[in-house]
């Protein structure tokens, strides 16, 4: 295999969306947002896609998604479950507390580490990142990287008019990521300002604040240190049995412990997503506009358009 790997985080529960947004049909052939990401990655030199899903999604994911993509791009599936990589004693405690969901995006990546044996990018299944982002990632990963990388996005371009969103607020200095702070309740309010109201605080954020949308690049050499962070997460005295181990928090820990430098890749790329069910109409409209502009073919994988 020549070329980097694309890891797609697709095991989410979609609680705010009210369904499986990672497979939500938006294109003329029923393509989901992840189809466009894989298409863009393929034309940017990526050689394989690894999809990280829950086991209960396997049948639907295979018939609805892989049936389109696999003929054009080598694909593999990895399962992320609530019991994946979790010590038996902790798992028993979590089950008593009613936990059924997996343990977050950093956990998801660790579940796929055996399949990610070459330089790789990692993205969310339910976000549209734009071809510019994948071109930047593909160029960066074309030589074996000794650092990580991130494609950040401008905060005001990543909000949903339907409600609050979670974003990793980035501090960047001299082309490198200095820190990432995960904020879980960011929304634009009636006065036009953007505020985070999670964790009992009210904090205004500038519109041009760079944020992480989980568009990262790494070498497989990152996994031992990421495993160390995950073990620290599980052993934290304040550990929450319903909590999640977020990839931006893992990146922030790696930076602060001087284990990894993360380069910022400017891409000037559009973003949209489907956090809420009401976001679907806008996402479908923007996909149609991009197809009309010739950015994507009318039928992404070569089937007959509907």
In a domain, 170, yes or no: no
- Is the pLDDT at 65 greater than 80? The verdict is yes
Residue 16: the pLDDT is: 46
Q: Is residue 119 part of a domain?
A: yes
User: Among 7-16, 92-101, 176-185, 287-296, which is the least confidently predicted range?
Assistant: 7-16
pLDDT attached to residue 39: 96
Q: Which long-range contacts (CB under 8 A, 24 or more apart) does 28-32 make?
A: 28/288, 28/291, 28/298, 28/299, 28/305, 28/306, 29/68, 29/299, 29/300, 29/301, 29/303, 29/305, 29/306, 30/64, 30/68, 30/306, 31/68, 31/287, 31/300, 31/301, 32/65, 32/125
Compute the Cα dihedral for 37, 263, 274, 125 and give only its sign: positive
The answer as to whether 114 is a domain residue is: yes
Q: What is the pLDDT of residue 238?
A: 65
Query: Is residue 165 one of the residues assigned to a domain?
Result: no
Give the mean pLDDT of 10-14: 68
pLDDT digits (tens, 9 = 90+) for 67-92: 999 999 999 999 998 778 787 778 77
Q: What is the CATH number of the domain that holds 88?
A: 3.90.550.10
pLDDT at 19 over 60: no
Q: Identify the weakest region by mean pLDDT among 169-183, 191-205, 232-246.
A: 232-246
DSSP code at position 143:
S
- How much is the pLDDT for 20? 63
Residue 232 has pLDDT above 70, yes or no: yes
Q: Which of 148, 149, 128 is nearest to 38 (CA)?
A: 128
Cα torsion for 221, 222, 224, 225, to the nearest 10°?
140
Report if residue 28 sits inside a domain: yes
What is the percentage of the chain residues whose pLDDT exceeds 90? 61
Number of domains comprising the chain? 1
| Confidence at residue 91, expressed as pLDDT on a 0 to 100 scale | 76
- Measure the CA angle with vertex 205, ends 252 and 136; round to 5°: 55
Position 134 in a domain: yes
Is pLDDT at 265 greater than 50 in this prediction? Answer: yes
Q: Which domain holds residue 104?
A: 5-150+211-240+262-292
Q: Report the mean per-residue pLDDT for the chain.
A: 89
End-to-end CA distance of the chain: 34
**Of residues 265 and 239, which shows the higher confidence score?**
265
- On whether residue 218 sits in a domain, the answer given is yes
100, part of any domain: yes
What pLDDT digit, counting tens, does each position of 197-222 carry? 987 889 999 999 999 999 999 999 99
């Amino acid at each position: 295999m020549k070329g980097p790997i694309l890891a797609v985080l697709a095991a989410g529960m979609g609680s705010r969306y009210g369904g499986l947004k990672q497979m939500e049909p938006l294109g003329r052939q029923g393509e989901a947002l992840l189809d466009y990401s894989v298409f863009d990655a393929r034309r940017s030199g990526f050689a394989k896609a690894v999809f990280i899903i829950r086991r209960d999604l396997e049948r639907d994911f295979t018939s609805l998604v892989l049936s389109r993509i696999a003929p054009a791009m080598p694909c593999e599936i990895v399962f992320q479950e609530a019991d994946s990589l979790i010590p038996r004693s902790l798992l028993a405690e979590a089950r008593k507390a009613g936990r059924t969901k997996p343990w977050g995006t950093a956990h998801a990546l660790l579940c796929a580490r055996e399949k990610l044996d070459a330089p790789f990018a990692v993205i969310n299944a339910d976000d549209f990142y734009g071809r510019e982002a994948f071109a930047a990632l593909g160029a960066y990963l074309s030589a074996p990287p000794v650092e990580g990388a991130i494609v950040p996005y401008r905060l005001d371009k990543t909000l949903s008019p339907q409600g609050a969103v979670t974003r990793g607020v980035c501090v960047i200095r001299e082309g490198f990521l200095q820190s990432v702070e995960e904020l879980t309740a960011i929304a634009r309010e009636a006065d036009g300002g953007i505020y985070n109201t999670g964790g009992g605080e009210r904090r205004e954020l500038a519109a041009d604040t760079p944020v992480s949308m989980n568009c990262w690049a790494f070498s497989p050499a990152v996994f031992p240190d990421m495993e160390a962070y995950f073990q620290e997460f599980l052993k934290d005295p304040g550990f929450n049995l319903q909590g999640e181990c977020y990839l931006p928090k893992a990146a922030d820990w790696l930076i602060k412990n001087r284990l990894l430098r993360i380069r910022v890749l400017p891409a000037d790329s559009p973003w949209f997503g489907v956090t809420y069910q009401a976001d679907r109409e806008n996402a479908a409209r923007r996909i149609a506009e991009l197809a009309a502009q010739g950015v994507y073919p009318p039928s992404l994988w070569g089937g007959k358009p509907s």
